[in-house]
Each structure stands twice: as structure tokens, then as C-alpha cells.
Amino acid sequence: MAEKKIPVDELRSGMFVVALDRPWFDTPFGAGGFEIRGQEDIAELRRYCRHVFVEVEDAVEDTGEQETAPDQEAAVENALRRAEETLSRFRALLGDLFREAAGSPLASLAGIDALMPGLLDGIDEDSDAHIWQARLERGCCYDVAHALDCCVLAVAFASHLGWSRQACHTLGKAALLLDIGMARVPRHILDKPGRLTAEEFAAVQRHVLYAQEILAQAAGCGDEVLAIVRNHHERINGSGYPQGLQGEDISLPSQLVAMVDCYTAMTSSRSYRDARSPYQVLNQLYGWRDSYFRGDLLEPFIRFIGIYPTASLVELTNGEVGAVLGQNRPRSLRPKVLLMLEGSSAASPCFLDLAAEENSDVEVRRGIERPPPGMALDAGLWRGLGRELSRGGTGQPREGAFTGR
């Protein structure tokens, strides 16, 4: 099935609406899409939209060379393995940079410049594999994991928008270094489980100023990277810090990484709060459109992330539960899924491409914000699965992976 954009007035009963001409959050319609059941549905849609996207049959050319399921699974595993090879080099480098930054200014960013072309190539080839792998915790500290998560998502989104390779390189480099100044914020404040005092919050905010000191003399750190890092907590309504800049005074790359920084931080677990679901966070970000973030940047970002974001959980119409392994853009209702749970029992993780013809009878019933009973699906499980796939292992879950921490 493909998607076709049509005016609301051309809708007919039985058509399945998969996307609107505006974000779902702005309407009473559920984000999972819905079937038109009559004139009432069309009249309701007309109140909000001029155009919508509906599913239509594909005109498939039979090449006689269809990929088999094992071929697809092997391709997914290879993509994940290559992505992890690239990201593990960045983790090692970032660990070194954060340690160095705690005690002295960085001398050079040549290491990032050397690795970045490989990451840009990899994201061009398979952005979802990199987004997935960057979301897995690998036992490294939060600062390193978050820097890489932010970098991968920012570059993937910018590349999706058609930004040049040089612009993506600069953006990715800056995204890695947004929070390098955290290396100088006392650890007991960063790891404090409760609410921060005003003084502690001010100490955290100083990470932006520390970053300027850390990066000022670093070879390979141009003015643009410095500006992006300096402005990643600015908000277009002037409520950000450290300068309270407004609107166009904040460059587009700064605004993009600010948005991605928020999304990745809010969907990650911290010592003082649990991770929020991608759906909750996107909804929250949408509430900040044109106050914190430009609407014309935020809305494409929400569409890029997808209705069922990569690394989020979904329940299928056949009762199985899995994690979204990648998108089939623009068919956002039919992602690639890694199955993990059948009914209430653990399943051997296996790959299911919902866009494949043989899976046309299965759909996503809903996104899941919390793991269902019998399935303690948290970052620990992602880690186990990702490690198995990265090693080219069997994909079998570790013992106890589904039964709690």
C-alpha cells in the first residue's frame, strides 16, 4: 500500500486516513490513523484539514527478485552491526573528550572531524539503524550517550531536510559538544535524585559558559560550532539562557539542535525522573511551537520522528508486542518492528516489516507508553537485544530480560 494526498472533499467511506495536513496533536483524531465510516467523519475532518493522506494500492512491478524474509533480517542485522561499529568509536572518543574537558580546555576536535564522515555516510545509508543504536544504552555515562543520541538524530533530521554535507558535519560536531561543559558541573548536582535548588540549577546552567572556555582554543572548532553550543538553551520567545536571545537571533542550526536536545533528553531516564514516551514528549514539544521552537521546524521534525518512533513500543493487531526498529517513510503507520512478546510470553526477537505484502494482514493497534505485564521493557532490554544483533548473535533474549529488573 502507498499513500496519496487528496482533498478532504474527495474522501469516501472505507478510505483509510494515514496522515493529515497538520499534526495529529492539533486535532481530535487519534495518531494511529482511521477509516472513514461516513459523512460525519468527513465533515469533522473538514473542520481541521484541507488535505489528508489515504492508503492506496501499490502498482507493484514484479522483478522476480523479491527479498526473502531471511534476506531482510540479515540486511537489518548488518545495518545495525555497521551502525554500532561507527557509534562505538564515537563513544570512546567522547569519553576521552569529557574526561579531558573536566580539567582543561580541549586542544583539538580533530578526532571528531576524522570520524564524522563515516557517521554521515552511515546515516545516509540507514538512519534508523543509527537512531536505534544511539538510543541503546551501552554502559557509558549519560553525558556521552546523550551527546551521541542528540548528534545522530540531529544529523538524520537535517539530512532528511536536505541540508548539505558540510552543514550536517558542523551540526553533528556541535551536537556532540552541546553539553561538554557538564564535565565541570559537580557530579552530585547532576545525579541528584530530587528537585534542584536555585543555586544548583544555576550551576547546571553554567555548563553553557564552561563549554565556551573548553572549546575556545580547540583546533577545528569554528565560530559556527561555538555559536550552536552557546545557544542550544535559547528559546525563540526569549525565555532561554544564557542571553535570552529571541527569534532570528538564534540560528537555524541552534534551533534544530535545541529541539532535538529536548526530545532526546526527555525520552531518556535520569536519576530524578523516568523517561517519558516519545508520544508524550512530541505532544509537549508541539505545545511549545512558536514559543520555544519554530513551528515550521518542529512540525517536520514530528513527521520525521513518525507516528510510531524508532525505538518506541507498539502492540500489533495479532496481539504481539515489539519495538519499532525503523520507519517505512512515508508509510508511517507500517514501520519495521522487532517482535518481543506474544500474548504474555516472551518471544524470540524476530524482525517483521509491516510494509511487506506478506504482512498486510497485521497492523499496529497502538503505541505503548509502558511495557505490558510480563514485560519489563526498559533500556536494559534494548541493550541486551542490541548487543545480540550487533554481535550477529541469535537474537535470543537474555535470561530474565522480560521478567523485571
SS3 of 38, please? coil
Nearer to Fe ion, 42 or 145 (CB): 145
Could you give the residue ranges of the DSSP H alpha helices within 162-197? 165-177, 187-190
DSSP state of 246: B
Nearer to Fe ion, 101 or 307 (CB): 101
Q: Under a CB-based contact definition with an 8 Å cutoff, are residues 365 and 316 in contact?
A: yes
Distance of closest approach, residue 220 Cβ to Fe ion, in angstroms: 21
> What is the rounded CA–CA span in Å between residue 12 and residue 228?
48
- Type of residue found at 370: R
Distance of closest approach, residue 14 Cβ to Fe ion, in angstroms: 49
Q: How far apart are the first and last CA of the chain?
A: 40
Cell of 317: 493487531
Nearer to Fe ion, 215 or 314 (CB): 215
Nearer to Fe ion, 245 or 385 (CB): 245
Nearer to Fe ion, 149 or 179 (CB): 179
Distance of closest approach, residue 178 Cβ to Fe ion, in angstroms: 5
Distance of closest approach, residue 403 Cβ to Fe ion, in angstroms: 36
- Type of residue found at 44: E
Residues lying near Fe ion in the complex (CB under 5 A)? 179
Strand (E) positions, 241-396?
Answer: 313-316, 320-326, 336-342, 345-353, 364-368
Distance of closest approach, residue 130 Cβ to Fe ion, in angstroms: 22
Nearer to Fe ion, 179 or 353 (CB): 179
Distance of closest approach, residue 205 Cβ to Fe ion, in angstroms: 9
Q: Under a CB-based contact definition with an 8 Å cutoff, are residues 172 and 256 in contact?
A: no
Distance of closest approach, residue 186 Cβ to Fe ion, in angstroms: 16
Q: Residue number with the shortest CB distance to Fe ion?
A: 179
Q: Which one, of 307, 342, 313, 341, lies nearest residue 325 by Cα?
A: 313
Annotate 239-252 with b (16+ C-beta within 10 A) or e (fewer): ebeeeebeeeebeb
DSSP state of 68: P
> What is the rounded CA–CA span in Å between residue 165 and residue 261?
21
Q: Under a CB-based contact definition with an 8 Å cutoff, are residues 135 and 263 in contact?
A: no
Distance of closest approach, residue 208 Cβ to Fe ion, in angstroms: 6
Q: Under a CB-based contact definition with an 8 Å cutoff, are residues 8 and 50 in contact?
A: yes
> What is the rounded CA–CA span in Å between residue 204 and residue 182?
7
Nearer to Fe ion, 150 or 368 (CB): 150
Cell of 348: 524470540
> What is the rounded CA–CA span in Å between residue 138 and residue 145?
8
Distance of closest approach, residue 232 Cβ to Fe ion, in angstroms: 6
Nearer to Fe ion, 254 or 332 (CB): 254
Nearer to Fe ion, 3 or 179 (CB): 179
SS3 of 33, please? coil
Nearer to Fe ion, 112 or 150 (CB): 150
SS3 of 51, please? strand
Distance of closest approach, residue 204 Cβ to Fe ion, in angstroms: 8
